[in-house]
Amino acid sequence: MKYKTYLIALISLLVFVECNTTNNKQNKRKTKEEERKSEIKRKPNYSVTIDQNGLNGTYKGLEFVDTGDVMYNDVAHQFSNYVADTLGKFLKASYKAGNYYSIDFKKTKITTKGMDMKDTVVYCINMVFKKTDKYGASTGIEHCGSWGGQADLLLKKRLDETIKNLAPICIGRPKTCKYVTKEKFKEYWIQFKHKNYQGDCAK
């Protein structure tokens, strides 16, 4: 009887230890996965340089990654957001310093290589600046695009909505340009005079 009791206790202990070990391993894997997602979300492989001549930016990596937040899964297309933020800060800072620039949309080049909605891609944005006076400068930048081949009519509708939403902070009509890569990535870029920085240009 004592032997059976001892055996049952031993088996129970082994089961407990095994379950605890399994749970610890699962928790560690879960933690590592969360850290990986957080790292991807926090530090994607974006490379951008910017100066008075223009901006050169490249993203090399996966098109989509499970970051845990569907808003950030399209890490390749999120590069456009990063570029827009970098551009906006540079144009505003330059304007405040008395250096006036606009983006030469005709000389701007946007390319993708390897885009197939499931693997890695090289996404490049190269923008050229034009030196101008304060009335011709841009201090606002926005974009509107589709990584998944959205129909032109729907994309144009989104562009119109974006411009409408910019109206409260935009002086005059913004300038736009549509870019389409060989792999059918489509994106409109928008530059405008920001009221908070160029208010005197409206006079």
Q: Domain limits at 31? A: 1-43
Q: Is the pLDDT of residue 104 over 60?
A: yes
How many domains would you assign to the chain?
A: 2
At 201, is the pLDDT very low, low, confident or very high (cuts 50, 70, 90)?
A: confident
Same domain, 34 and 51: no
Same domain, 1 and 71: no
**Tokens standing for residue 29:** 């894997």
Rounded CA-CA distance 76/195 in Å is 31
Same domain, 112 and 88: yes
Nearest by Cα to 181 from 122, 120, 104: 122
pLDDT at position 33: 52
Same domain, 88 and 60: yes
Specify which of 4-8, 47-51, 118-122 reaches the highest per-range mean pLDDT. Answer: 47-51
Same domain, 174 and 88: yes
Beta strands in 37-149 (DSSP E): 46-51, 54-62, 101-113, 120-131, 140-146
Nearest by Cα to 66 from 34, 113, 27, 28: 34
pLDDT at position 94: 98
Rounded CA-CA distance 108/179 in Å is 9
How far apart are the two ends of the chain, measured CA to CA in Å?
99
Q: Is the pLDDT of residue 19 over 70?
A: no
Same domain, 50 and 133: yes
Q: Is the pLDDT of residue 165 over 60?
A: yes
Same domain, 34 and 56: no
pLDDT digits (tens, 9 = 90+) for 105-154: 999 999 999 998 888 999 999 999 999 999 999 999 999 998 877 899 99
CA dihedral of residues 101, 103, 107, 113 (deg, nearest 10): 130
Residue with tokens 């409109």: 188
Same domain, 38 and 53: no
Same domain, 25 and 67: no
Q: Is the pLDDT of residue 6 over 80?
A: no
Q: Is the pLDDT of residue 14 over 80?
A: no
Nearest by Cα to 117 from 150, 84, 153: 150
Using DSSP's 3-state secondary structure scheme, residue 32 falls into: helix
**Tokens standing for residue 153:** 């009519």
Rounded CA-CA distance 57/55 in Å is 6
**Tokens standing for residue 46:** 């974006």
Same domain, 30 and 56: no
Using DSSP's 3-state secondary structure scheme, residue 61 falls into: strand
CA separation, residue 142 to residues 21, 23, 40, 64, 190 (Å): 51, 47, 24, 22, 5
Q: Is the pLDDT of residue 2 over 90?
A: no
Measured over the CA atoms of residue 58, residue 64, residue 68 and residue 70, the dihedral's sign is positive
pLDDT digits (tens, 9 = 90+) for 52-94: 999 999 999 998 887 665 556 788 899 999 999 999 999 999 9
Same domain, 13 and 106: no
pLDDT at position 73: 75
Tell which wins on pLDDT, 7 or 73: 73
pLDDT digits (tens, 9 = 90+) for 26-41: 655 556 555 444 544 5
Same domain, 34 and 76: no
